[in-house]
Amino acid sequence: MVSISLLGTKIGMTQIFNNQGSAIPVTVLQLGPCFITQIKTIKSDGYNAIQIGYLEVSNKRLSRAELGHLQKTRVRALRHLKEYKVDSCEGFELGQNINANELKIGDLIDISGKSIGKGFTGYQKRHHFSRGPMSHGSKNHRQPGSIGAGTTPGRVFPGKKMAGRMGGNNVTIKNLQIIDINTAKNIVIVKGSVPGKPGNTISIKRK
């Protein structure tokens, strides 16, 4: 069996207690149900991959092109589509349902999601720069200071750490352990934190 990949939603964080009474921070996820919407093979597309869809919505939420793509597989309108490369496409069928039943307690999974956006931030918050003196007369409290040389090179080098938009990036946390699974409700509890805020769509991949 190839590695299992799923789309889901981050419900939120909480904590559970083990037999020794220690508090373990965990994140609650709802994974699936997902449906296979396309199968790509080396013969047809040059590589092996499966495309899965998640989150049923009204037909009005999708374009005609998206609806036409999904009608080929005879599945309902799905909001999110994502493709995963696989070693072999054997055992997969169009419209096949993939859910949390494929996962086991103790499995290690990689979780990807969009981190929380912080907006436009300064040097201290974004890059952990040190602040200037706070004494009377100082005019450099939270300013950047020098950003480059003078005549030579006469410009600021690309990639200079400066103020700007922070967060809102795709982040992957690897090797998060599954603590508990509720297959009836497709709920999975993993140890540790997951990128994004509650309600964000996340992608998981099992080792």
Residue 159 shares a structural domain with residue 80: no
62 and 52 in a common domain: yes
| pLDDT at res. 2 | 46
- Let me know whether 194 and 143 are in one domain: no
Same domain, 135 and 97: no
Rounded CA separation 189/181 (Å)? 6
**Residue 134 shares a structural domain with residue 182:** no
pLDDT at 165: 96
Which one, of 86, 121, 108, 105, lies nearest residue 206 by Cα? 108
pLDDT on residue 108 = 94
Cα 202–Cα 200–Cα 18 angle in degrees, nearest 5? 70
Q: Read off the CATH number of the domain in which 65 is found.
A: 2.40.30.10
Domain shared by 69 and 148, yes or no: no
111: amino acid identity, one letter: I
| 59 shares its domain with 88 | yes
Residues 94 and 126 in one domain: no
Predicted local distance difference test score (pLDDT) of residue 1: 39
What number of residues does the chain have? 207
Confidence at residue 3, expressed as pLDDT on a 0 to 100 scale: 62
Closest CA to 181 of 2, 1, 54, 8: 8
Q: pLDDT by residue (tens digit) across 64-74?
A: 999 998 887 87
Same domain, 113 and 185: yes
Q: Could you read off the pLDDT of 5-29 as tens digits, one per residue?
A: 899 999 999 999 988 999 999 999 9
Alpha-carbon torsion angle 41, 44, 45, 49, nearest 10? -20
Domain encompassing residue 131: 118-166
Tens digit of pLDDT for each residue in 41-91?
Answer: 999 999 999 999 999 999 899 999 999 988 878 788 999 999 998 888 888
**3-class SS shares of the chain: helix, strand, coil, % to 5:** 10, 40, 50
For range 184-203, the mean pLDDT: 94
Note the pLDDT tens digit of each residue in 157-187.
999 999 999 999 999 999 999 999 998 999 9
